[in-house]
Structure 1
C-alpha cells in the first residue's frame, strides 16, 4: 500500500485529520492520554476515536506488509505456548518420537 494512500485512508472522514500524525507520534512515544489531549487540543472522546482509527489502520498496514513478505515462503510449523500472566510467548520443543511404543518406554 503506497504511503500516500495510507495517509489518505487515515484522514478520510475525520474532522481534524491534521492531528492524526501528532497523536500517532505521541502514542508511539508512550505519552499519557491526558497529555496527548492537552498537546493535540482534543477531547477524550475525539482521542479515543483517533486511537481506534490508528489501531485499525496499523493492523491493516502490518497485515499488508506481512502478506507480501510471506508470499511464497515455506515456514516450518511452530508450536507455541503463551503465558497470559506475563505476556511471554515460548516456543515448545517436544521430544516426541512416533516410532516408540508407549508401553515399552514405561
Structure 2
C-alpha cells in the first residue's frame, strides 16, 4: 500500500498519529505501508474516508487519488454544472459556435 504512505506524508502525519486516528497500532501502519500485511475492510474504509480517496487507490488498483463521484444519468458533477452555468451566460452566437465545435470534435473522435 505505497499510496498510504504518500497520502500520510502529504498530510504531514507520522505513522503514530495516523494509527491514533484510525485506532490501530503504529506497527500496523508500518506493515500496511511496507506490504507486510493488509488492513481489514473496516480499516480500509476508515482510511478511505479519512483521506477522501477510494479504496482502489489505497490498494494500488487505481491511479486516481480522488473519490469517484457516483453519477446518475440526470446528475451533473461540479465541472459539468460549471460548464452549463458558463454556457448559459454566453450570447446565442457563441452557443452555436460551441455546439458546432463539439459536434465536429465528437465526429472526429468517432472516426
Structure label with greater radius of gyration: 1
More strand by share: 1
The structure, 1 or 2, with the larger RCO (C-alpha pairs under 8 Å, 6+ apart) is 2
Normalising TM by the smaller chain, what interval? under 0.3
More helix by share: 2
